């Protein structure tokens, strides 16, 4: 009987992670990190720079090219206390991340607010320097939501984009478990070398190990690469508080995949397709479910309706189609709607019981106990995740965002 992910108990995915094995800072050389190779149940230790030789022949690697924005804003009140505003997702005038980052003059975002009880004024102001002089950002509380606030921003000069505002006035949002402030060095080390599309509040950390030299070596050895975009949200750090997964709401994230990327995947079917990181994997697998929804529904024809993958979609009784049909349906949809890329949101939960549609392996870091990321690893390699994590702990691998990595070839 296949596992029903709704009945999974998150406590069954616990392990003891000593604080001294959480990597607080990155290595000087990205490629010098350790790489645990898990291949058909056998574990071996390597260095990350060896990865071009360890990948299966004719591999297609999937990179997530999202770029971390400096989403933490610190406003000083007249009394001297500090209010922290952490930008989570855009609300108006556009909910689409890439449009929102190019917004000028003003916008409204869903935000977390630190020290909110001390925010008494109607407006908070923050002055900062730009190449053309001093700029000013204003923040106004619009509405308190159940877990956050709607914050209206306005700024001068109005010609600045919101991306420029965050770049100049914001601070890098390091993962909470690092328990430290971001440094200037983090601005480079907490970005992948191929980061392009602004909109993430956390890095796709498996990609942090790649250097320009390794990517060039991959090309020379015949490994192909393709880029997709998933804007990593703060929900990636949300702990699973429910006892059973049926009660856990998976966070939603925005994905963008070009026609060229879908065609490359279609040509690669039957060969090795390996996402770099869990975000690339969720994007890849979400494409299948989007294709299936389009194939089996007549409501998604105009290109105006938002495309979405619900967390439980893969586990419902349904008529499934082949990966080839799913990708061909996406291309047909884009052609009919005259679009050059798929834009959608995904809440896809990948847990034991999930049947992978496009993915044949994974490059990923070592994840927190009792996390949805650990569920994903378990879905790919089964109960052997415990053997793998025990090996990593016993052999002094560094864990979490700035830690070491693994290549999983089930």
131 and 153, same domain (yes or no): yes
Q: Per the domain annotation, does 244 fall within a domain?
A: yes
Instruction: Tell me the mean pLDDT in the region 246-269.
Output: 95
Q: Per the domain annotation, does 183 fall within a domain?
A: no
Q: Which one of 171, 196, 215 terminates a domain?
A: 171
111 is written with which tokens?
Answer: 């935000």
Answer whether 45's CB lies under 8 Å from 395's CB: yes
Q: Per the domain annotation, does 47 fall within a domain?
A: yes
75 and 63, same domain (yes or no): no
Pairing label, strands 133-144, 42-47: unpaired
What pLDDT score was predicted for residue 48?
A: 98
pLDDT band at 125 (very low <50, low <70, confident <90, very high): very high
Q: Per the domain annotation, does 181 fall within a domain?
A: no
Instruction: Tell me the mean pLDDT in the region 203-231.
Output: 96
How far apart, in Å, are the Cα atoms of 268 and each of 126, 220, 255, 361? Answer: 50, 18, 21, 14
60 and 79, same domain (yes or no): no
How far apart, in Å, are the Cα atoms of 196 and each of 283, 286, 384? Answer: 17, 21, 35
Structural domain count of the chain = 2
200 and 267, same domain (yes or no): yes
What pLDDT score was predicted for residue 214?
A: 97
Taking the alpha carbons at both ends of the chain, their separation in whole angstroms is 20
Is the confidence at residue 379, as pLDDT, over 90? yes
Is the confidence at residue 338, as pLDDT, over 90? yes
What pLDDT score was predicted for residue 1?
A: 44
316 and 393, same domain (yes or no): yes
Answer whether 0.85 is exceeded by the pTM.
yes
Is the confidence at residue 350, as pLDDT, over 90? yes
The rounded percent of the chain whose pLDDT value lies above 70 is 98
pLDDT band at 176 (very low <50, low <70, confident <90, very high): confident
pLDDT tens-digit map of 33-90: 999 999 999 999 999 999 999 999 999 999 999 999 999 999 998 888 899 999 999 9
- DSSP state string for 31-84: GGSEEEEEETTEEEEEEGGGHHHHSPTT-EEEEE-EEE---EEEEE-TTS-EEE
79 and 167, same domain (yes or no): yes
143 and 38, same domain (yes or no): no
Answer whether 405's CB lies under 8 Å from 398's CB: no
CA dihedral 392, 274, 226, 292 (to 10 degrees): -130
134 and 264, same domain (yes or no): no
220 and 339, same domain (yes or no): yes
Q: Per the domain annotation, does 28 fall within a domain?
A: yes
302 and 386, same domain (yes or no): yes
Q: Which one of 171, 201, 223 terminates a domain?
A: 171
Q: What 3-state class would DSSP assign to 30?
A: helix
Residue ranges making up the domain that contains 276: 5-67+188-409
CA distance 228 to 258: 7
- DSSP state string for 349-379: ---TT---SS-S-EEEEPPPTT-HHHHHHHH
37 and 110, same domain (yes or no): no
Is the confidence at residue 298, as pLDDT, over 90? no
How far apart, in Å, are the Cα atoms of 37 and each of 63, 146, 179? Answer: 19, 43, 29
Q: Per the domain annotation, does 385 fall within a domain?
A: yes
51 and 75, same domain (yes or no): no
Closest CA to 90 of 111, 70, 75, 74: 111
Q: Per the domain annotation, does 201 fall within a domain?
A: yes
CA distance 89 to 73: 14
Closest CA to 330 of 61, 339, 93: 339
- CATH number, domain of 316, equals 3.40.1780.10
Q: Per the domain annotation, does 230 fall within a domain?
A: yes
The strand pairing partners of 256, in sequence order, are: 229, 343
How far apart, in Å, are the Cα atoms of 354 and each of 9, 316, 367, 368, 409? Answer: 16, 11, 19, 20, 16
Q: For residue 41, is it left (φ>0), alpha (ψ between -120 and 50) or beta?
A: left
Is the confidence at residue 319, as pLDDT, over 80? no
26 is written with which tokens?
Answer: 């990155």
Q: What phi and psi, each to the nearest 5 degrees, are found at residue 254?
A: -90, 135
The rounded percent of the chain whose pLDDT value lies above 90 is 85
Q: Which one of 171, 200, 218 terminates a domain?
A: 171
């Amino acid at each position: 009987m296949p596992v029903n992910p709704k009945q999974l108990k998150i406590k069954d995915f616990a392990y003891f992670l000593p604080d001294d094995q959480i990597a607080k800072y990155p290595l000087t050389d990205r490629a010098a990190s350790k790489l645990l190779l898990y291949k058909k149940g056998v574990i071996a230790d390597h260095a990350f720079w060896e990865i071009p030789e360890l990948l299966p022949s004719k591999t297609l690697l999937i990179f997530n090219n999202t770029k971390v924005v400096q989403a933490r804003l610190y406003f000083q009140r007249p009394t001297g206390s500090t209010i922290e505003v952490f930008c989570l997702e855009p609300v108006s005038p556009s909910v689409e991340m890439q449009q929102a980052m190019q917004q000028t003059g003003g916008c409204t975002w869903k935000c977390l607010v630190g020290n909110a009880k001390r925010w008494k004024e109607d407006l908070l102001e923050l002055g900062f320097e730009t190449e053309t002089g001093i700029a000013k950002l204003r923040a106004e509380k619009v509405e308190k939501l159940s877990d956050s606030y709607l914050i209206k921003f306005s700024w001068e000069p109005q010609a600045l984009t919101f991306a420029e505002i965050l770049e100049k006035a914001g601070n890098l949002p390091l993962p909470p478990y690092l328990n430290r402030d971001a440094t200037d060095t983090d601005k480079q080390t907490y970005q992948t070398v191929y980061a392009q599309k602004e909109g993430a509040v956390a890095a796709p950390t498996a990609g942090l190990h790649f250097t320009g030299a390794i990517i060039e070596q991959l090309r020379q050895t015949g490994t192909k690469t393709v880029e997709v975009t998933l804007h990593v949200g703060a929900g990636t750090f949300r702990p699973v508080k429910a006892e059973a997964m049926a009660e856990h709401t998976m966070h939603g994230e925005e994905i963008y995949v070009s026609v060229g990327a879908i065609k490359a995947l279609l040509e690669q079917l039957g060969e090795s397709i390996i996402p770099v990181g869990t975000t690339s994997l969720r994007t890849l697998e979400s494409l299948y479910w989007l294709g299936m929804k389009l194939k089996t529904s007549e409501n998604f024809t105009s290109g105006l309706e938002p495309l979405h993958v619900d967390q439980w979609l893969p586990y419902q009784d349904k008529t499934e189609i082949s990966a080839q049909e799913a990708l061909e349906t996406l291309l047909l949809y884009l052609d009919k709607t005259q679009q050059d890329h798929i834009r959608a949101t995904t809440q896809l939960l990948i847990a034991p019981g999930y049947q992978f549609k496009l993915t044949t392996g994974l490059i990923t870091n070592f994840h927190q106990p009792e996390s949805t990321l650990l569920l994903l690893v378990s879905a790919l390699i089964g109960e052997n995740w415990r053997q793998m994590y025990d090996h990593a702990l016993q052999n002094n691998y560094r864990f979490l965002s700035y830690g070491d990595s693994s290549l999983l070839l089930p």
